Amino acid sequence: MPLVIGVTKEFTPGERRVALVPDVAKKYQGLGAALLLQAGAGASAYYRDEDYGAAELVADASAVLKKADVLLQVQPLSMDDLNELKPGSVLVGLQQPWSSKERIELLRQKGITCFALELLPRISRAQSMDVLSSQAAVAGYECALIAADHSPKFFPMLTYAAGTIRPAKVLVIGAGVAGLQAIATAKRLGAMVSGYDVRPETKEQIESLGAKFVDTGVSAAGTGGYARELTDDEKRQQAEKLGKAIAECDALITTAAIPGKKAPVIVSAEMVARMKPGSVVVDMAAETGGNVAGTMAGEKTWVGETLIIGPTNIPSRMPVHASEMYAKNLFNFISPFIKDGALALDWEDEVLAGACLTHAGEVRHAGVKQALGL
């Protein structure tokens, strides 16, 4: 029997992405795998059932969960859905590994081999599998569009019969993948863009996109490509200089996040109060608490004369390309271990081993075990 790769509709309300797109489906079939899809799995991302070619279609998600040898998903499965997985099967996708001890315990008890792609080692070989980066690129692009859409000002300079309109000033805080994409998009829209990050090595990246780097004199270079948490003295110095830049901008986009932890609050209520009337804030970190005081996840909130927007599940707003990028990431991760229609996992592979959450009745990831007390 060939390896059965399964995909269902996403169970999370409002999730429009799908873990497998037709072009990638053909690649799995080329490796000898059989595909089992719930009918309509790709409909919210505008992929039709017939686009998946020879994939077997079933009406019920339960049939996929019970039969699939490998299940590809975007959002974590619920406890009920996990209970329906075939014992010993393989689960691949985003798992939010720090969010639910109970879910991980169930995966362990059922003997599920679960790969959480949030745990991918931050090495060059894993870049083509990095779902966090691909989806962050979507989020950064979308946040720049959200800011432009809600701003009462033109982003680009505009010359008209009576004179000239000056371009809007946009400040992006955080220069990871999402922040750099937001900077590039706001710049393409014609705004005057500044960027800030506590990691000094990002200065060159920000300036390479034509933006100005806001230098606060604080460095928080951390490990694995992420920023470390700042000391109290560093936070005060950062706040003083960053507050001046925030007061001058028309649109502020914040993108700072620490995996597995609450988002750092970078923009205080006092900073928001000093912003221009009609200014717009788009807080990309809203789902994990927000970078801005006053952010409410999933809401648009007026604080004085400033509009604070806390969008959630941002990549789902662009389901076609977000799904395509995500599906390719998953394929690049799992396909090296599919040979002649069978799955042969190589536990000597540092990427595979590093992303493993549970296997053979054990929680394999040391960091998650420590964080959740497992």
Higher pLDDT, 239 or 317: 317
**What pLDDT sits at residue 231?**
81
In 3D, which of 196, 289, 285 has the Cα closest to residue 243? 196
SS3 38: strand
Ordered alpha helix ranges (H), the chain: 22-30, 61-67, 79-84, 101-109, 131-150, 177-188, 202-208, 232-248, 269-273, 319-334, 350-355, 366-372
- CB burial of 198-207 (b: ≥16 within 10 Å; e: otherwise) equals bbeebbebbe
State pLDDT tens for residues 2-24: 999 999 999 999 999 999 999 99
Residues with catalytic roles: 122, 127, 130, 133, 226
State pLDDT tens for residues 121-154: 999 999 999 999 999 999 999 999 999 999 999 9
Higher pLDDT, 341 or 236: 341
Tokens of 162: 């009576």
The C-alpha atoms of residue 56 and residue 298 are separated, in whole angstroms, by 37
State pLDDT tens for residues 27-67: 999 999 999 999 999 999 999 999 999 999 999 999 999 99
How many CB atoms neighbour CB 255 within 10 A? 28
**pLDDT band with cut points at 50, 70 and 90 for residue 226:** low
**pLDDT band with cut points at 50, 70 and 90 for residue 335:** very high
Instruction: Compute the CA torsion angle 104, 106, 109, 112 (nearest 10 deg).
Output: -70
State pLDDT tens for residues 342-365: 999 999 999 999 999 999 999 998
In 3D, which of 251, 316, 320, 234 has the Cα closest to residue 42? 320
**What pLDDT sits at residue 21?**
98
- The amino acid at 47: Y
In 3D, which of 80, 86, 92 has the Cα closest to residue 110? 86
State pLDDT tens for residues 149-167: 999 999 999 999 999 999 9
The C-alpha atoms of residue 134 and residue 144 are separated, in whole angstroms, by 16
Q: Is residue 289 predicted with pLDDT exceeding 80?
A: yes
In 3D, which of 145, 190, 166, 155 has the Cα closest to residue 309? 145
